[in-house]
Amino acid sequence: MAKAGAVRQLALIILALFFIFPCMAQALEGNSSLVLLSQYEDAKLYKIDNLLVLQLSGSYREMGRQEGHLLKDLIHDYYNDSVVNYFIRENNMSYERLALDSLERFNHYPKRFRDIISGISDTSGLSLANLTILSRVPYIAPGCSAVFAWRDYSRDGSTVAGRNLDFYSSMEDFINYTIVCIYNPTDGSHSVASVCRLTQLEIHTGMNDQGIFLEANDGSSSGGSIFFPNRITYLGSFLFDYSTLDQLDAAVHSSKIDWATLLNVADEKEARSYEWATFDLKRAIPMRNGFLASTNHFVNPEWGLAQLQGDPDNTTLRRNNLLDMGERHRGKFDARVMMSVLDMDIENGGPSGDFTRLKVVAIPKEKVIWVKIPKYQNWTEVDLKGLFCNQQST
């Protein structure tokens, strides 16, 4: 009798927890391999094999405090490995110069994103100046690839998205600091997932609760290397603030970029590519109705650009390889096929190489992503539906 009572009591406690923490219940339901490591306030830190999944919820300051508390030790390790050892000791960069440049950019951010970094500083024990440097370590680098298949090219007609993020070989030591960070703001904005490094504010690979997927590549080989420090085009704002591609399109056309960028976005029905120079913006219309490949150069003929000399970072070769693979797998693209495309080395007709630091596949319709960190974590599924706590349509 006592044993039966204890079992009933335990069942009631578990049931109560699921009512009290509905997001945690949804997260565990959609991700059976998620292991809860710790929690703080309304945030949870999970792990799938080696991949950390951080679910935040609250005001932007609160979400920053949650990240700083739950990842405190890792944040300090990352700062020492990247800023102290790599930038300052190995590359003789001045701390004062790094702090000055980073703080200047930080001060231009919208308040909500300054609040995130300030919140991390509150609980991590790392100063605001040090965190502004750390948050900018993983910036866009040349060599990235994006590929999208929909309509006649995907298995069910809905969009399958893929991206490779390439970085310098010296950055390989930092791959273990890659996480999936889910923001659930309580100000009415959309929930957003970012595949990023610790403390990284810039979102270069992400999806929101409406199934809008965004990824960004360097475009300086076509758009030039002019940088405007007084322009802050925080790409993550598009995911927090907009529910449809048309809304996002209007926002892009109302903004100026600080550095030449290829911005690629998708929902479950289509993908769009923006070739964004600091002085102009043009859409890259897909050569094939239902398939888009974007690397690091502009392809819209309206630019009037001459053919790239020397094919920097193999951008033309990678794009041509992706276009060929699009035809080879026409009508067959799903998550597994897209993974195989991203895994193909450039020498064998794919986009990848030793320079590839991160691979992501996304299904906007299902709000599911797969993440691969070469040499650290194989393809890992993360179902975002249960980790998004907002999911309202506006």
DSSP string, 209-272: TT--EEEEEE-HHHH-S---TT----THHHHHH-SSHHHHHHHHHT---SS-EEEEEE-SS-EE
Half-sphere exposure of 182 (CA within 13 A, CB side): 30
Which residues, at least 6 apart from 281, have a Cβ–Cβ distance to it below 8 Å?
252, 253, 257, 274, 275
pLDDT at 32: 56
**Contact, 53 vs 179, CB < 8 A?**
yes
∠ CA 66-380-168, rounded to 5°: 80
Neighbours of 332 (CB within 10 A): 12
Q: What parts of the chain have a pLDDT lower than 70?
A: 1-32, 138-142, 169-171, 391-394
The model's pLDDT over 171-210, given as tens digits with 9 standing for 90+, comes to 677 889 999 999 999 999 999 999 999 999 889 999 999 9
- For 71-99, letters b (16+ CB in 10 Å) and e give beebbbebbeebbeebbeeeeeeeeeebb
pLDDT at 12: 41
pLDDT at 330: 98
pLDDT at 99: 92
Count the helix, strand and coil residues of the chain and give each as a percent rounded to the nearest 5: 40, 25, 35
Domains and CATH numbers, the chain: 145-178+185-190+197-383 (3.60.60.10)
pLDDT at 201: 87
Instruction: Please tell me the pTM assigned to this model.
Output: 0.91
Longest dimension (CA), the chain: 83
Which residues, at least 6 apart from 268, have a Cβ–Cβ distance to it below 8 Å?
158, 159, 211, 364, 365
pLDDT at 167: 81
Burial group, residue 287, by CB count within 10 angstroms (0-12, 13-18, 19+): exposed
Any bridge partners for residue 39, and if so which?
A: 44
E-assigned strands of 29-91?
Answer: 35-40, 43-48, 51-58
pLDDT at 143: 76
CA distance 368 to 359: 14
pLDDT at 309: 82
CA distance 346 to 361: 18
pLDDT at 232: 81
- One-letter identity of residue 147: V
CA distance 387 to 180: 11
H/E stretch holding 156: none
Neighbours of 211 (CB within 10 A): 23
**Contact, 135 vs 201, CB < 8 A?**
yes
* Helices and strands in the chain: count of H runs, count of E runs: 12, 16
- For 230-253, letters b (16+ CB in 10 Å) and e give eebbbbbbbbbbbbebeebbeebe
